Structure 1
Amino acid sequence: MRTHHRARRWAAGVALAVVGGLALSPSALAAPSSVDTGRHDPSPAPSVLPTGGLSVTGETSPVHDPALIVADDGTWYVFSTGLVNRENGGTIQIWSSDDDGVTWSSDGTVWDEIPAWIDEHFADGALPDNLWAPEVYEHDGTYYLYYSASRFGTNTSVTALATNTTLDPSDPDYEWVDQGPVITSPQEIENGKTFNAIDAGIVEGADGTPYMAIGSYWYGIFLVELEWPSGKLADGALADATHIVDRFVPGNPVEAPYIVERDGYYYAFVSFDACCRGLDSTYKIAVGRADSVTGPYLDQDGRDLFGGGGTVLLESHGAMVGPGGQSVFDDVLAFHYYDASNAEIPGFPTLGLHRLDWTQDGWPVVDTTAEAPTVVTPPQDASVRQAGPTVRFEVEVAGAPAPVVTWERSMDGGRTWRPAGAAERAHDGTATLSLHRSQASPGVQVRAQVSNAHGSVTSEPAKVTLPRPARAGS
């Protein structure tokens, strides 16, 4: 994961939420969030989404260190740190969404077990519990998956590489082929400094040269040159590394570097302070930018990130505690946070998404307005009409960020409820459900589950009724 002292504190919560070998959130344990589990038509690119928080539903926990990428067919994928104690093999987890990142499901893990060479690498002491902090980068038709393994509490670490030609598990060519180690620690880097070889983030310079941002605590974050098509270190990469982030405070709590280019600037997103302490976490996301991929990276006040600078972009707010471990794809910031609204497992590590807005002078901004969702106007009873194929219900909701509405249907007077239609983000404050006549016999009830990162609420049910009989003489 994206730290040299990743927590075991959430391991007990993970164990509580493992059913049939899949790690599920408490909401996912209650019921699936969608009727159709197959692939949908390609979704719009993330750039068409409104700015601000993007509420999610489905299987969104336990997610640590999410690496977000959107495939050409519109499918969203998140790769995240493996489960501790080698649960499910302890390898990198994969999650996917076919509806612009609204509804998420587990696609399992990259491999069934940790590669044997990693255990051989750590054979002189404690073995890694799991694989950490993935990064996925596409170049010339190949997907490069970087992942880390580390001896807990040390900088005895390795970042390795696997490659694939597709992200779609149903593709017959789908296979993550392990390419072995890329960079290890402890060893010297840039003028004899020490570093921790975890938390890779890949970026290309203006001339197409690939670089890896790497590091956690110790001397902070370094930029090392890679080469294509191997995806591994270029000759002399360690000696020629650029030291781009160092807080110069005790412990140097900075990690999870992720660099993206936008409009001629390179933006370095990093995580400050303490991860992995559940609701006591102080993690936050900071940013600086540079004219060149090698820096220097300055914050909005002109302070160098090499020397204590860094504009805080996202920190704890509402029920979102300790956001960090971030990646960015097409202006969508993906991160994990510890969920204070989860009554069953307080502080469960959960996927967060936020579409960045940008100031006129080119700085990313986020909207941290935190309002628990409410039902403003519940759905109303609707009649089965003799003409027309559907029965339509609407709910008006509020909350910030815009909540997700998931409809449910009951055919036994409200004793049991099942999903009814796809989930949607209520960006305009309303959500609708259209039931086909075959699903809308008189007496059927519907209700709306309304949720965002700061809470959830269920509407009062509405029911399908018979049409009113025609009045005599009408």
Structure 2
Amino acid sequence: MHSSTTRRAAAVVAGALALALAVPTAAAVAGTTATTGATSGTIDRAAAALAGGGVSTLADLRRPDVRPDALPTGGLSVTGETAPIHDPALIIDDDGTWRVYSTGLVNRENGGTIQMWSSHDEGVTWANDGTVWDEIPAWIDERFAGPDGQGTLPDNLWAPEVYEHDGTYYLYYSASRFGTNTSVTALATNTTLDPEDPDFEWVDQGPVISSPNEIAGGKTFNAIDAGIVEGEDGTPYMAIGSYWYGIFLVELEWPSGTLADGALQNATHLVDRMMAGNPVEAPYIAEHDGWYYMYVSFDACCQGLDSTYKVAVGRSRDVTGPYLDADGRDMVDGGGTIILQSHGSVVGPGGQSVSDGVVAFHYYDASNAAAPGFPTLGLQRLAWEDGWPVVDQTAAAPTVTAAPDDLTVRANRRASFEVEVSGTPVPVVTWEVSADGGTTWTTASARATRAADGTATWTIKHARRDQDGLQVRAVVANAHGTVRTDAATLDVTRPDHGHAR
């Protein structure tokens, strides 16, 4: 018996339990409202102090024209609601919205179905958009209950993959009985990814591939962790597998998105670790510059800070392989070039997907003091050297090199606070304000800034007299830590014409 499913479940259990512990810390770092010692009155006063001050909002700053290739390569720091995220499937929509679909919460919390997340500022600030469905489809429970109705039911749905073809979005998701390869990967379809669209509805299409089952001439596999790719001629394929004999490629057909005739018998064996347990899973194939690159996760997932997960890659001129690593070793014979592994506070990165040159993965956060090992979203924009993807694993905790200064302005004038920072990956900066002398702090704006040039600025376009005494501080964060600056104070004097607004 292989235990990859048990480990995966255990990690999401830990993440769900840790959520209640981590909320105060996570919220304080996030781009959503964060308070310390707050009452509704002090929050209202802080909100009133900001109202009408010209503070930018997230909606004002959406920039759908910015594509991932305009971003710096290397780690992309994130903020907002970025946990618990496991097995993220990243897709960047045509309107510039970044979306992630991830494994559901265990014990059927929130229904246990696939979670949805979105960012409207190039992957900086993330928000949870709920779940695909309110409950796990009834056919899954019937399937796992078995003829006697006594079978163990899945706690949650796993490892989503989202793929667009000819105006239809295909969502593949998995369900499994823990610790076994009694598994199924199923399909749902939609015409839009926007939950606000009146046509938004994930329509379940039922099972696509299941195990235990024979594949590729009598081998065994685990039917989870689907990754979808099209060949040069447009033929769709699914990479699938976890442990057992490893990773296989099976042919699909459009528009159904289901298995082509003879897909299991004619499957291609792509990856085998050639070691006890065969610890490989989460295949994802993406084309770049005439090559197909297969990304997989090696070793042990889902053990929190003891996880040894890492991302390996091989490439092929043909979508069906063979996939060779940078040393020329075939991945079906134990090959695979490691490109991403534990570094700094990023522990056990894996469960990856790739969209427009950005790799999304989960990792276990060693910098979260409230809940060490919390499963968290990671992003990296790939660089390329000699035809191979490169991930920057430089780890430097965020540092404030120049804190914001106290500021005196006349009423109705612009007030700008600036912070200078360093760290790798480039930190994200959010701003907090206090209207009660530092007792209560609340996030100043939904807009976070990835401080690519080492500076970040927060501006009140027209300072008002009732903002006199407002305290301002910056929150500087990357995957390896979080720091806050000392508070700077805003002094608003009377305007030149002698009366306040």
Normalised to the residue count of structure 1, the TM-score between the two structures is 0.94
Residue 456 of structure 2 corresponds to residue 425 of structure 1? no
Residue in structure 1 matched with residue 301 of structure 2 by the alignment: 275
Residue in structure 1 matched with residue 270 of structure 2 by the alignment: 244
Residue 438 of structure 2 corresponds to residue 436 of structure 1? no
Deviations 1:274-333 (A, max 9, x none): 000000000000000000000000000000001110000000000000000000001101
Q: Is the 8 A contact 2:29 2:475 kept in 1?
A: no
* Unmatched 5+ stretches in structure 1: none
**How far, CA to CA, are the matches of 1:356 and 1:128 in structure 2?**
35
**How far, CA to CA, are the matches of 1:278 and 1:327 in structure 2?**
20
Q: Is the 8 A contact 2:339 2:390 kept in 1?
A: yes
Aligned pairs for 1:161-200 (under 5 A) are 161-200=187-226
Match of 2:393 among 360, 368, 371: 368
Structure 1 position 189, deviation (Å)? 0.4
Structure 1 position 28, deviation (Å)? 2.1
Residue in structure 1 matched with residue 44 of structure 2 by the alignment: none
Residue 92 of structure 2 corresponds to residue 91 of structure 1? no
Does the residue aligned with 2:472 lie in a helix, a strand or coil?
strand
Identity value in percent: 70
**How far, CA to CA, are the matches of 2:24 and 2:288 in structure 1?**
34
**How far, CA to CA, are the matches of 1:303 and 1:112 in structure 2?**
45
Match of 1:379 among 404, 423, 440: 404
**How far, CA to CA, are the matches of 1:16 and 1:310 in structure 2?**
34
Residue in structure 2 matched with residue 109 of structure 1 by the alignment: 131
Q: Is the 8 A contact 2:352 2:362 kept in 1?
A: yes
Residue in structure 1 matched with residue 229 of structure 2 by the alignment: 203
Structure 1 position 409, deviation (Å)? 1.2
Match of 2:427 among 403, 417, 430: 403
Residue 278 of structure 2 corresponds to residue 256 of structure 1? no
Does the residue aligned with 2:331 lie in a helix, a strand or coil?
coil
Residue 62 of structure 2 corresponds to residue 41 of structure 1? yes
**How far, CA to CA, are the matches of 1:364 and 1:245 in structure 2?**
19
**How far, CA to CA, are the matches of 1:112 and 1:332 in structure 2?**
30
Does the residue aligned with 1:8 lie in a helix, a strand or coil?
helix
**How far, CA to CA, are the matches of 1:430 and 1:367 in structure 2?**
21
Structure 1 position 7, deviation (Å)? 3.4
Rate the CA distance shift 1:358–1:140 in 2: closer, same or farther, 3 A: same
Does the residue aligned with 2:69 lie in a helix, a strand or coil?
helix
Match of 2:16 among 14, 17, 28: 14
Rate the CA distance shift 1:449–1:235 in 2: closer, same or farther, 3 A: same
**How far, CA to CA, are the matches of 2:206 and 2:28 in structure 1?**
36
Q: Is the 8 A contact 2:31 2:125 kept in 1?
A: no
Q: Is the 8 A contact 1:4 1:196 kept in 2?
A: no
Q: Count matched residues.
A: 464
**How far, CA to CA, are the matches of 1:320 and 1:407 in structure 2?**
24
Residue in structure 1 matched with residue 36 of structure 2 by the alignment: none
Q: In the alignment, residue 339 of structure 2 is paired with which amino acid?
A: L
Q: Is the 8 A contact 1:24 1:61 kept in 2?
A: no
**How far, CA to CA, are the matches of 1:229 and 1:419 in structure 2?**
46
Q: In the alignment, residue 116 of structure 1 is paired with which amino acid?
A: A
**How far, CA to CA, are the matches of 1:212 and 1:39 in structure 2?**
39
Q: In the alignment, residue 96 of structure 2 is paired with which amino acid?
A: G
**How far, CA to CA, are the matches of 1:108 and 1:18 in structure 2?**
17
Structure 1 position 467, deviation (Å)? 5.5
CA RMSD of aligned residues (A): 2.0
Rate the CA distance shift 1:55–1:457 in 2: closer, same or farther, 3 A: same
Rate the CA distance shift 1:31–1:195 in 2: closer, same or farther, 3 A: closer
Deviations 1:179-210 (A, max 9, x none): 00000001100010000000000000000000
Q: In the alignment, residue 394 of structure 1 is paired with which amino acid?
A: E
Residue in structure 2 matched with residue 287 of structure 1 by the alignment: 313
Q: Is the 8 A contact 2:90 2:101 kept in 1?
A: yes
Residue in structure 2 matched with residue 213 of structure 1 by the alignment: 239
Q: In the alignment, residue 105 of structure 1 is paired with which amino acid?
A: A
Residue 78 of structure 2 corresponds to residue 56 of structure 1? yes
* Unmatched 5+ stretches in structure 2: 34-55, 497-501
Q: Is the 8 A contact 2:463 2:492 kept in 1?
A: no
**How far, CA to CA, are the matches of 1:458 and 1:187 in structure 2?**
54
Rate the CA distance shift 1:40–1:469 in 2: closer, same or farther, 3 A: closer
Q: Which moved more, 1:36-45 or 1:398-407?
A: 36-45
Structure 1 position 442, deviation (Å)? 1.9
Structure 1 position 414, deviation (Å)? 1.1
Rate the CA distance shift 1:469–1:351 in 2: closer, same or farther, 3 A: closer
Rate the CA distance shift 1:32–1:430 in 2: closer, same or farther, 3 A: closer
Q: Which moved more, 1:117-126 or 1:155-164?
A: 117-126
Q: Is the 8 A contact 1:200 1:257 kept in 2?
A: yes
Deviations 1:425-469 (A, max 9, x none): 111111001113246722111100000000000001111124599
Residue in structure 1 matched with residue 159 of structure 2 by the alignment: 133
Q: Which moved more, 1:305-314 or 1:410-419?
A: 410-419
Structure 1 position 413, deviation (Å)? 1.1
Q: Is the 8 A contact 2:477 2:483 kept in 1?
A: yes
**How far, CA to CA, are the matches of 2:480 and 2:29 in structure 1?**
19
Q: Is the 8 A contact 1:96 1:105 kept in 2?
A: yes
Structure 1 position 9, deviation (Å)? 4.3
Normalised to the residue count of structure 2, the TM-score between the two structures is 0.89
Does the residue aligned with 1:121 lie in a helix, a strand or coil?
helix
Q: Which moved more, 1:374-383 or 1:280-289?
A: 374-383
Deviations 1:362-416 (A, max 9, x none): 100011110110110000112223574x201110001110000001111111111
The structure with the largest helix share of the pair is 2
Residue in structure 1 matched with residue 41 of structure 2 by the alignment: none
